[in-house]
């Protein structure tokens, strides 16, 4: 299975990240080199593991991905969504209403901030490849050891999508305060759902 197909789903988020973060690559590398030893402990951190599980389970609750895509495009074009559109977006993503969706965003930001503080490094600054490796190591014990090769590939693919989602939500957390975070987080969820669908479809092809 080609991991590139999954990663392409997060291309838009990568562009957002490159605009939002003013830190130079050299500055980020210095920070990461100093904290690399600490970062690897994420794979055993129960807070991080709960964050991963929550992200993996969240996409299964999306009820109307096409509706969500339409509203995300509308919000991206106009720079905002009406109260009614926000409610429709929240419901399409599997939330009860906008307030329920906002509560999810706030709770996730609290977790991300806590991890940032505990490791003295922002999760958004961790290189995508390193984060994916940490996620795979963190969840390896949860994978079915008796699974077929195709199923193992599917599970690894889903975890890669989850890693991309964690990175995306970390990026979105930086714009929550200026009102576009709701649309940003929605884009992450939709991208993860689309990537997960590809994982499942390719696993079916593998089994044929």
pLDDT in tens, 143-187: 655 567 888 888 888 888 888 888 888 888 777 655 678 899 999
Instruction: Mark 12-42 as b/e (b = at least 16 C-beta within 10 Å).
Output: bbeebbeeeeeeeeeebeebeeebeeebeeb
User: Among 20-29, 107-116, 117-126, where is mean pLDDT lowest?
Assistant: 20-29
Provide the token pair at 60.
């299964």
For 30-56, the pLDDT digits (tens) are 555 555 557 778 888 899 888 888 888
> What Rg do the C-alpha atoms of the chain give, in angstroms?
17
The reported pTM is: 0.76
Task: Say how many CA atoms lie within 13 Å of 193 toward its Cβ.
Answer: 20
Position 134 scores a pLDDT of: 85
Listed residue (204, 198, 188, 202) closest to 59, CA to CA: 188
- 92 and 62 Cβ atoms separated by less than 8 Å: yes
Position 144 scores a pLDDT of: 55
Q: In the chain, what are the domain boundaries?
A: 3-207
- 88 and 71 Cβ atoms separated by less than 8 Å: yes
Task: Say how many CA atoms lie within 13 Å of 93 toward its Cβ.
Answer: 33
Position 126 scores a pLDDT of: 82
- 80 and 179 Cβ atoms separated by less than 8 Å: yes
User: Among 26-30, 166-170, 204-208, where is mean pLDDT lowest?
Assistant: 26-30
């Amino acid at each position: 299975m080609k991991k590139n197909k999954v990663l392409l789903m997060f291309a838009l988020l990568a562009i957002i990240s490159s605009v939002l973060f003013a830190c130079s690559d050299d500055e980020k590398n210095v920070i990461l080199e100093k904290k690399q030893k600490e970062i690897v402990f994420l794979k055993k951190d129960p807070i991080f593991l709960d964050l991963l599980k929550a992200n993996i389970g969240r996409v299964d609750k999306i009820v109307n991905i096409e509706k969500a895509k339409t509203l995300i495009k509308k919000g991206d074009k106009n720079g905002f969504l009406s109260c009614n559109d926000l409610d429709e977006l929240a419901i399409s993503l599997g939330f009860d209403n906008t307030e329920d969706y906002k509560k999810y965003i706030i709770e996730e930001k609290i977790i991300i901030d806590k991890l940032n503080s505990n490791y003295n490094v922002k999760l958004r600054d961790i290189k995508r490849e390193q984060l994916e490796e940490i996620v795979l190591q963190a969840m390896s014990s949860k994978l079915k050891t008796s699974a077929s090769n195709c199923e193992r590939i599917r599970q690894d693919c889903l975890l890669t999508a989850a890693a991309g989602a964690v990175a995306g939500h970390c990026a979105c957390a930086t714009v929550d305060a200026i009102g576009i975070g709701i649309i940003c987080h929605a884009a992450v969820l939709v991208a993860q759902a689309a990537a997960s669908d590809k994982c499942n479809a390719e696993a079916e092809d593998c089994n044929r």
